[in-house]
Amino acid sequence: MAEITIREIAKRCGVGVSTVSRAINNHSDINPETKQRIMDVIKETGYIPNNSARNLKRTDAKCIGVLVKGITNPFFTPIIEKIEQETEKKGYALVLRHVEAYENEVNVALELEKEKRLRGIIFLGGSSKHDADKLRQLNVPVIFATIGSDISDNLGRNAYSTVSVDDAVESRKMVEYLIGLGHRKIAILTEGNDQPSIVSLRYEGYCDALNKHGIKLDEKLVKYVDRRIYAMQNGYETTKALIESGAKFTALFCVSDVLAVGALRALADAGIRVPEDVSVAGFDGQEIAQFCVPRLTTIRQPLADISEETMRLIFDLIEEKRGHKHLIFPGELVEGESTRKI
Partner DNA sequence: TTGTAAGCGTTATCAT
Partner DNA sequence: ATGATAACGCTTACAA
By beta-carbon proximity to a copy of itself, the closer residue of 156 and 262 is 262
Cβ closest to a copy of itself, residue 201 vs residue 306? 306
Q: Which is nearer to DNA, 18 or 195 (CB)?
A: 18
Q: Closer to a copy of itself by CB, 213 or 291: give it.
A: 291
Exposed e or buried b per residue across 146-177, where buried means at least 16 C-beta atoms within 10 angstroms of its C-beta: bbbbeeeeeebbebbbbbbbbbbbbbbbbbbb
Q: How far does Cα 149 stand from its chain's mean position? A: 14
Beta bridge partners of residue 68, listed in sequence order: 98, 124
Residue 320 binds a copy of itself (CB under 8 A): no
Is position 1 an interface residue for a copy of itself (rule: CB under 8 A)?
Answer: yes
Q: What is residue 215's DSSP assignment?
A: P
Separation between Cα atoms, residue 333 and residue 281, nearest integer Å: 10
Q: Closer to a copy of itself at the Cβ: 244 or 269? A: 269
Angstrom distance (rounded) from CA 104 to CA 126: 9
CA 313 to chain centre: 16
**Of 109-128, which residues contact a copy of itself (CB under 8 A)?**
110-112, 114-116
Q: Which helix (H) or strand (E) holds 256?
A: none
Q: Judged by CB under 8 A, does residue 131 bind a copy of itself?
A: no
Cβ(265)–Cβ(243) below 8 Å: no
| Residue 265 interacts with, from a copy of itself, DNA, none (CB under 5-8 Å by kind) | a copy of itself
24 binds, among DNA, a copy of itself, none (CB under 5 to 8 A by kind): DNA
Q: Which residues contact 17 (CB under 8 A, 6 or more apart)?
A: 6, 7, 10
Please give the residues from 138 up to 157 whose contact with a copy of itself meets the rule CB under 8 A: 139
Question: From the CB of 314, what's the least distance to DNA, in Å?
Answer: 22
Kindly identify the residues of this chain, within the stretch 194-233, that bind a copy of itself according to CB under 8 A: 230, 232-233
Q: Which residues bind a copy of itself (CB under 8 A)?
A: 1, 3, 46, 48-53, 55-56, 71-74, 76-77, 80, 84, 96, 98, 100, 110-112, 114-116, 134, 137, 139, 230, 232-233, 236, 261-262, 264-265, 268, 287-288, 290-293
